[in-house]
Amino acid sequence: MNIRTTISPDFTVIAGPCSAESARQVMECAEKLSAMGVGILRAGVWKPRTRPGGFEGAGAPALEWLCQAREKTGMKLAVEVAGASHVEAALKAGIDILWIGARTSASPFAVEEIAQALKGNDIPVMVKNPINPDVNLWTGAIERIERAGISRISAIHRGFSDIQESVLRYAPQWEIPIELRRRMPSLPIFCDPSHMAGRRELVGTLAQMALDMNADGLFVEVHPDPEHALSDSRQQLTPDGFRAMVSSLEWRREIHDADVRNLAPSRNELDRLDAQLVELLARRMKIVQEIGEYKHLNNLAVLQSKRYQNVSDSVAKLASEKGISEKFVRSIFETIHAESIRCQLENNKTQS
């Protein structure tokens, strides 16, 4: 998508209320954002709620309020669609950009229905990550939209449901957008720091992380009176709060040849260490194989849980002595152990 704002020439900022609530609220928000140079207004018209009974959006009349705001400010309009009827209504109203929400992108049936309704209309479509951390589901949703003939697709990383307690509402799990970028290098990936944060005080921190992760743009919830917002009240910024947040961001520059030269000695050192790590892993696997043979010949089970627990505890202790994360080292050894088990099971299969 090459719609840019004047905030930064090579970065797209989309902002607006979680929900369009009234003609006045939409207009006030659009006027304030537009005055700051934001070129695209987001607003939910149909709201997918996890539980029934909350505000479910103003529906079709809100499309009219948005069009009035566009008329006045010249902003482009982005709305969420969750099914064919939404697509039809949004296209009929001349909405400029559609987005697919996190609860919808998790359902291939719903995404397929939207894809079918989009056929023949080359409107920009943004696909939020599904609520569960599954990069294949996200990729699949994007592919379905691509197959409908949509040429301007971007992704929105809004974080994932997580059973672990956290100050954040949705866990960023940066490895997932990193993998999406590896799979689809030319796909712009926006970050929605509002839904990740869940509270306005944290939106700026997440937006800065997104810049550091090379996001192509931000998708931020801004409401003229967030305290009284009908949805996502805690995470929406006031227009002034949004201005302050954006102006506090540190913009990272492109990497230059000189940087590559400056970093080369450290990177070469890392390459040597990585080669040694692989060499050590290969040596380790060889010993694993010998142990596996012993177990097989002596009728012992492949999995020896007590031994694994000891290995995990002792590397975690070493990690903490060396000042690196215990959790990180345990998770590496979880992978190493899983591979050791896999190889031993594989060998037993071929020997029996």
From 13, 15, 18, 66, residue interacting with Mn ion (rule: CB under 5 A): 18
Contacts of 222 (CB under 8 A, 6+ apart): 15, 16, 17, 29, 33, 236, 237, 238, 239, 241, 242
State the nearest-atom distance from the C-beta of 130 to ligand PEP, in Å. Answer: 9
By CB under 6 A, tell whether 243 contacts ligand PEP.
no
Residue 168: phi and psi, rounded to 5, are: -85, 155
Interface region with ligand PEP, contact rule CB under 6 A, candidates 63-71, 96-104, 289-297, 308-316: 96-104
Angstrom distance (rounded) from CA 11 to CA 24: 29
Q: Residue with CB nearest ligand PEP?
A: 101
By CB under 5 A, tell whether 232 contacts Mn ion.
yes
Q: Is the torsion defined by CA of 19, 23, 27, 28 positive or negative?
A: negative
Please give the single-letter amino acid code of residue 336.
I
By CB under 6 A, tell whether 44 contacts ligand PEP.
yes
By CB under 5 A, tell whether 189 contacts Mn ion.
no
Residues 110-139 binding ligand PEP (CB under 6 A) are 128
Contacts of 156 (CB under 8 A, 6+ apart): 99, 126, 127, 128, 129, 189, 190, 191, 192, 219
Measured in whole angstroms, the distance separating CA 277 from the mean position of its chain's CA atoms is 30
Interface region with ligand PEP, contact rule CB under 6 A, candidates 69-77, 97-105, 109-117, 311-319: 97-105
Interface region with ligand PEP, contact rule CB under 6 A, candidates 4-12, 99-107, 247-255, 303-311: 99-107
As given in the structure block, the two tokens for residue 312 are 């995990």
As given in the structure block, the two tokens for residue 318 are 């070493």
Number of residues lying near Mn ion (CB under 5 A): 2
By CB under 6 A, tell whether 40 contacts ligand PEP.
no
By CB under 6 A, tell whether 101 contacts ligand PEP.
yes
Which CB sits closer to ligand PEP, 44 or 217?
Answer: 44
Interface region with Mn ion, contact rule CB under 5 A, candidates 21-29, 95-103, 231-239, 262-270: 231-239
Cα dihedral 76, 80, 86, 88 in deg (nearest 10): 30
DSSP string, 206-249: HHHHHHHTT-SEEEEEB-SSGGG-SS-GGGPBPHHHHHHHHHHP
Which CB sits closer to ligand PEP, 79 or 319?
Answer: 79
State the nearest-atom distance from the C-beta of 231 to Mn ion, in Å. Answer: 6
State the nearest-atom distance from the C-beta of 277 to Mn ion, in Å. Answer: 43
Contact track, Mn ion, 55-94, x by CB under 5 A: ----------------------------------------
Residue 273: Cβ-neighbour burial (10 angstroms; 0-12, 13-18, 19+): exposed
Helix (H) or strand (E) holding 142: helix 135-147
Binding site for Mn ion (CB under 5 A): 18, 232
Binding site for ligand PEP (CB under 6 A): 18, 44, 101-103, 128, 158, 195
